[in-house]
Every structure is written in C-alpha cells, then in structure tokens.
Amino acid sequence: MTERMSAAERREAILDAAVEEFATHGFENATTADIAARAGISQPYVFRFFPTKKDLYIAVIDRSTTRILHGWETAAPLPGESRLQTLGRAYVETIPERRKELMVKFGAYAFAHDPEIAAAARHHLARIYRYVALQAQRDGSESPHFDAVQFVGHGFFIYGAMAAGLESVLTPEEWAAVCGGQTGIARVEDRLAEVA
C-alpha cells in the first residue's frame, strides 16, 4: 500500500517538478499541465497551492534562495577559512545538485520586464547581498559592501557558466579558476560524478 503524501510533501513535489520544467523549457514555454504530470498530480491540484504559473515560478526562486542561505548558515568553516571563503566553498560544493534551480533563478533576470518577477528577483538578490555583506563585516572587512559585490558577482558568473555548460569547454585549470581554485573544482567534479 502506498503511503499518502502530506500537503507539504505534495507542495515540494510540485516545486521539484517545476524546477525541471522551468529549467528545460523556460518560464514562457513550461506548462502547469506538464508540471502536474511530472509531479504525478492533477493540474487543478497545482492551482490549490499556486494560483498562477507565475506564483509557482516565484516560489521556485524563493526556495532556491532560501536553500542557499540555509546552506551558508549551516556551513562549518575549515581551519583558517574566513567566513566568505566558507560561503564560497559551500556554494561551489552544492552547485551540481542545484544546477537546475540556478538555471531557473538565472532565467528570472530575463523576465525583469515583469513587475512581479522583477520584485522577486530584487528581493532575493538583496537577501543574498545583505547576508554576504554581513559575513564580510564579521570577517573584519574594511569594505564589506564592496566585498559582497565581488562575491555575488563571482557567484553570478559561476551559475551563469553552469547554466551554459561552460565547464564542458574549459580546461580543468580554467574551470578551477571559475570555481575559486583547485579545491573548488575537485569538489565540484566529485559532486558531478555523484549525481551523474
């Protein structure tokens, strides 16, 4: 006998299916019917949780940012690491399993002409920026906001690179530089092998 899923579990299943569909087809071409089919539920059930496709898209972006911040909050520093180095390492190590989420999030910036998607993108980018600036300040940075801009900018480059598959055309040394050094690339390669 199959155990029934709770409402929270069904919501997560819908979000997981939405990530797959939005990453594959983009916001405009993904359909709630395909998302429902992938989640194994009826389309009207999707609308019980998310009244519109846009609400679902924004929920995916929200969950992605929340997961990044949670990962950072729980990341344990290695000996001698600054807080920002710990955040960078934690970010790079989890890229492979979050690749499609990052593709969806990256795609949201292409829809900045939509006021609601733009508002969500601004809100979540501000959350990331402020968190990083605070950690830089805790590290004793003299210019925590500048450090946060550099850190977030590097993060944008990494997930843009992953979305485009840049790692497939770069040498290991070049990709290591993208990911923040040899340690970063080794961990990403290990994680890619695990999830393949």
Are the C-beta atoms of residues 184 and 92 closer than 8 Å to each other? Answer: yes
The C-alpha atoms of residue 180 and residue 191 are separated, in whole angstroms, by: 16
Residue of 154, 148, 149 whose CA lies nearest to 180: 154
d(CA 84, CA 185): 17
116 Cβ neighbours under 8 A, 6+ residues apart: 54, 58
CB count in 10 Å sphere of residue 3: 6
| Residue pLDDT, tens place only, 97-147 | 888 888 898 888 888 899 999 999 999 999 999 999 999 999 999 999 999
pLDDT band of 192, cuts 50, 70, 90: very low
Superfamily the domain 1-51 falls into: Homeodomain-like (1.10.10.60)
| CA-based R_g, the chain, Å | 18
Q: pTM score > 0.75 for this model?
A: yes
